[in-house]
Each structure stands twice: as structure tokens, then as C-alpha cells.
Amino acid sequence: MSKKTKIAFVCDRCGADYPRWTGQCTSCGEWNTIKEVRLGGAERNSRSAGYAGSRSEVKLLSDVNLSQAERISSGISEFDRVLGGGIVCGSVVLIGGAPGAGKSTLLLQAIANIAARGVSVLYVSGEESLQQIAERAHRLKLPADKIMMLAETSVQRICDVLDDVKPQILVIDSIQVMHTQEAESAPGSVSQVRESASYLTQYAKKHGVSIFMVGHVTKDQSLAGPMTLSHIVDTQVMLGSTDDARFRVLRADKNRFGSVGELGFFAMDSLGLKEVKNPSAMFLNRPDKPSSGSVVTVLWEGTRPLLVEIQALVTECQYGNPRRLAVGFDQNRLAMLLAVLSRHGGIFTANDEIYANVVGGIKVTETSSDLAIVVGIVSSLRDKIIPHDAFFFGEIGLSGEIRPVANGHARLNDAAKHGFKKAVIPKANAPKKAIDGLEIHGVATLSEALDIVAEM
């Protein structure tokens, strides 16, 4: 009896599906990205037990085993930090990034460290030949005698090999070239990526194998493939470069076993990716001669503080409409801060062009940099140099108040370790006990902060 073939229309860009073909995807707004996909018969998914790998009986939440999942260290502390403390057995990690970012290099270094401790690992390559990978390992001076290799793109064939060799760590490079017999479309299509990832995830959960999947990115640096791919995996990390091409930043966008937004910093050299133990020094490479508009703030990224420099430039408008440009943080936030500065700080910039930039390519996602941005703008407008040993953090409200931020004491301690002497922070974040060598000014309003800046 023949199966009834199901047909769907799926957007190649975002993975949205439709009952019939249309010219534009209403989900992502792209044109001519909706393709016909054959889903196969209804019996095909009868094996599916969800991404958890197996079905279970109904039980009380209080009866669920709360034992901590075993973790394997990769031997790279920055990588372990982003993963939440190591590799969880049976977890599935998706690592994305632009071509040349260092995804394959990082994973090869990690599994070389793991294999050297006697943990069985298997590297499956679907893009590069085994000779190319061996040459890279030789160039990076990595021990290669305990790393098992396989050149294969069939998911079913890979799982058959896994049953034989039984590795604890598996690397799939990359998920976009894998294919499964249960989907009839071409490798790289939405259905093939989704089904291949689902098949491998179920295998990982059932057999306790930790899987790393390498993922491609689109031209706008978003992960290629269906959005379902992000839901299937346990952890999604992105490896990107900074303004300085020597450095790489690894960010956790999703993590079921750790904090989201955690950052890991690496430097690329002839021997691969090296950890950057002090990332603040990487972003605080300031010139010896101070200049106006340059201010330091302390961000909180994941579980640690990060000192970064914010630069602002205020210049007279040469044309009809003044331009406002923000690089590294929300441009709407810049417009709001300028309005607060005008209303509650008495400083008008309506006729000036304003440019603000976070040095080093860091993307600011929290509001603790508000005070530093405003101080930088005032510094550039008045051509006043802020001392190199001063830093600022605090959120600015619409009524001109300086609101406290999380982890204020840890930010102060980290800045003091880097030699900073003066701090202008929210009054509520001011510690009760003085910090040696650090002069702390707690302020409640924007006008108080501006008065302190004027006296510097």
C-alpha cells in the first residue's frame, strides 16, 4: 500500500510553512524564498518520540531525578564558560559563525584536548577531506593519534558507525550538508536540515552522546536553516570577530545548561585560537594621550564584568538635518538619552550631529552604559577630557534619575583591579565599605553626575 505524500511550502530563510505557494514570506518579508517540500507519508514520523529521545511514563515532578548531569571539560576554560561549565553528556550544541571565524579550529582543539584524557571522540566531516583536517591538526601541533575521523553525510550511516565505535563526543561539520533518507529534498534544504538535526538529537538523548553541530550563517550573520534548528538543540553559540581581526568572541544565544549571553574571548594566531584571560585589557587599548569624548564603563556579560571604552563625537551640523549614529548599542536609546540630557541636564544638542561608538565591536545589550554614553557626549561637546582613571556606569530614567544596576560591587572591584581610581555610579550601588584606592561618587540624578564631571 503506497504512502500518501504530503507537500508543504516552506520559506528557505526563516522556516515558516504555508499551505500553498506565495511570492512573499509574511513571516520574514523576503521574496521568492518559499519552496515546495515533500514531507513523505504519515507513517514516517511514527518512530518520533520528540527531541528528548524516548517516551516516558507519567510521573510527579517531585519524583524526577535531580542528580546533576555529568560534564566533560574541553580543556579550554573560555569555551567551558560559554557552555555553562563544560560539556553535558547527551547535550547537543550548535556552533555558528561566518566562514573563517574558526569554528572547525576551535572544535578540533577541544576534541584533541578531550581525546588526550582518554575520552573517545569522533569527528564527522561532510565538507572537508580527511587530509585537509589532518593537515590543520599538524599545523596547530595537536595530538591526532586518538581522534577518530569519518567522511560521511548520511545521518543513518553516521548513526550505524556510532553504534559500532560508541564515542562520547561527536562533531558534525556541518549540519547543512547532512541528509537523511526520510526526506526527499536536496541536502541543505529546510526539511533536510530539520530532519537531520532531529534524528541526531534523538540519538544523542537516547545514547548519552554529546554532539557538536557546525552551522552556516547567512549574509546578515543569522544562522542559516529553519528556526526549528534553534529549538531542537540544547545550546546555540555564535563565534564572531571583533573590529580587531586577531580576536574572536564566542557568545551563547541559547543554553539549557547555563546562562545566556555568556561571552568567551579568543585570539587567533598560527597555533589556532588562544584564550584571552583578561578581555578588559583587550578592549581598553587606549592611546597614551587622552582625548575628549572617550569614557570607560563596566558592562556585565554573562557572569563576569567587562571594561569597555565608549567614544562620542559631537560636531556642528553642515546640512539641514543633524545626523545621530550609534554603533554597538540601540540607536533609539541614544535618542532617548539625548532627550533626557536636554530636559534634565540643560544641555541642548538639537543642532549638532552626534556619533557614538562602543570600541572593539562589542554589542551592548544592557542599560548600565547610559551614564557613560551621556558623559561621553558632554565631554565631546564641551571638549573636556575625562581622566583616564575614571569610569562610569548607571541606567538613566526618563525623569533624569540614575537607577542602580545589577552586580554593582563586582563591577567596582574589577575596575579597581585594572587601576581605576574614580567611579561615578548610582547612589544605590555605592558600597557601604570603601574599596582601597577607589574614590566612589554615588549620584541620584543626572545633574549631580554632570556637576562631578565638570569638576574633574
Beta carbons within 8 Å of 87's beta carbon, 6+ residues apart: 71, 72, 73, 74, 80, 93, 114, 169, 210
Q: Which residue has the cell 541528509?
A: 179
CA–CA separation, 382 and 232 (whole Å): 53
Are the C-beta atoms of 309 and 279 separated by less than 8 Å? no
Sheet holding 422-426, edge to edge: 390-392, 422-426, 439-443
CA–CA separation, 169 and 158 (whole Å): 13
Is 394 assigned a ligand-binding role in the annotation? Answer: no
Is 4 assigned a ligand-binding role in the annotation? Answer: no
Give exposure, 32-59, as e/b (b: 16+ Cβ within 10 Å): ebbbebebbeeeeeeeeeebeeeeeeee
**DSSP 8-state secondary structure symbol assigned to residue 141:** T
Is 215 assigned a ligand-binding role in the annotation? Answer: no
Three cell numbers written together for 274: 588562544
Is residue 192 classed as helix, strand or coil in its secondary structure?
A: helix
Is 104 assigned a ligand-binding role in the annotation? Answer: yes
CA–CA separation, 112 and 119 (whole Å): 10
Bridge-based pairing of strands 263-269 and 272-275 is antiparallel
**DSSP 8-state secondary structure symbol assigned to residue 427:** G
Instruction: Give the DSSP H/E element, type plus range, for residue 82.
Output: helix 77-83
Is 103 assigned a ligand-binding role in the annotation? Answer: yes
Q: What angle do CA 200, 219, 187 make, to 5 degrees?
A: 35
Half-sphere exposure of 338 (CA within 13 A, CB side): 24
Q: What angle do CA 382, 388, 394 make, to 5 degrees?
A: 75
Is residue 101 classed as helix, strand or coil in its secondary structure?
A: coil
CB neighbourhood size of 331 (10 A): 12
Amino acid at 73: S
Three cell numbers written together for 101: 571565524
Q: Which residues pair with 114 in a beta bridge?
A: none
CA–CA separation, 163 and 172 (whole Å): 16
Three cell numbers written together for 177: 550538508
Is 397 assigned a ligand-binding role in the annotation? Answer: no
CA–CA separation, 453 and 197 (whole Å): 55
Is 97 assigned a ligand-binding role in the annotation? Answer: yes
Is 328 assigned a ligand-binding role in the annotation? Answer: no
Q: What angle do CA 150, 51, 17 make, to 5 degrees?
A: 100
Give the residue ranges of the annotated binding site. 97-104
Give the residue ranges of the annotated binding site for ATP. 97-104
